[in-house]
């Protein structure tokens, strides 16, 4: 199934282990950037098995919730964000005690390979973007180095 990634947004897909994920990831995101806009949804895997959600942007919160409904994979979470990049928040998210792993962080089209058993559903992997079209040449190396410095990721 394909996750919705609105124009100008990035999505982070991960796995965690506890209902506290929603509040702790929310806190990690708002403390990472004053300009970030996001929605977050978490699929509870026991008890009521509800989709728990938070965010500071209602459109992105709805999108994350719709992604979670489509996935319906226990203990998965997805963040849909604008005005920040995954590189700005991944360290903080990884530091959340409930987070087990980050599966993908991208602005590309993102397909999630889901397996289903009698017990439930789980994420087997992802297809992030498109297949390779070749190997970079000297001009490509120069472009890569230039864009990283333009965005101030390198000096």
The closest of 32, 20, 149, 4 to 88, measured between CA atoms, is 32
Q: CA 27, 31, 32, 36 torsion: positive or negative?
A: positive
Task: State the Cα–Cα distance between residues 55 and 82, nearest whole angstrom.
Answer: 12
pLDDT, tens digit, 9 for 90 and up, residues 16-75? 999 899 999 999 999 998 899 999 999 999 999 999 999 999 999 999 999 999 999 999
The closest of 128, 73, 74, 80 to 104, measured between CA atoms, is 128
Query: What pLDDT does 15 receive?
Result: 97
Query: What pLDDT does 33 receive?
Result: 87
CB contact at 8 A, 1 and 71: yes
CB contact at 8 A, 71 and 123: yes
Cα dist from 21 to 17, 35, 82, whole Å: 8, 22, 20
Domains of the chain, start order: 2-130 (3.40.1520.10)
Output Rg (C-alpha) for the chain, integer angstroms: 16
- pTM of the predicted protein model: 0.92
% residues pLDDT > 70 (the chain): 100
Residue 155 has pLDDT above 90, yes or no: no
CB contact at 8 A, 94 and 102: yes
Confidence of residue 4 (pLDDT cuts 50, 70, 90): very high
Give the mean pLDDT of 125-153.
94
Task: State the Cα–Cα distance between residues 31 and 109, nearest whole angstrom.
Answer: 27
% residues pLDDT > 90 (the chain): 94
Cα dist from 129 to 2, 15, 17, 40, whole Å: 11, 20, 27, 22
């Amino acid at each position: 199934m394909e996750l919705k990634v609105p124009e100008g947004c990035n999505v982070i897909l991960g796995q965690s282990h506890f209902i506290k994920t929603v509040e702790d990831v929310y806190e990690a995101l708002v403390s990472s950037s004053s300009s970030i806009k996001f929605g977050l949804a978490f699929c509870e895997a026991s008890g009521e098995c509800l989709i728990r959600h938070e965010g500071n942007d209602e459109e992105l919160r709805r999108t994350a919730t719709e992604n979670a409904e489509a996935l319906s994979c226990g203990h998965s979470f997805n963040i849909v964000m604008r005005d920040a990049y995954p590189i700005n928040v991944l360290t903080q998210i990884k530091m959340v005690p409930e987070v087990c792993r980050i599966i993908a962080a991208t602005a590309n089209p993102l397909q999630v390979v889901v397996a289903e058993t009698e017990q439930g559903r789980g994420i087997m992997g992802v297809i992030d973007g498109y297949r390779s079209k070749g190997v970079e040449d000297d001009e490509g190396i120069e472009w890569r180095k230039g864009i990283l410095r333009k965005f101030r990721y390198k000096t």
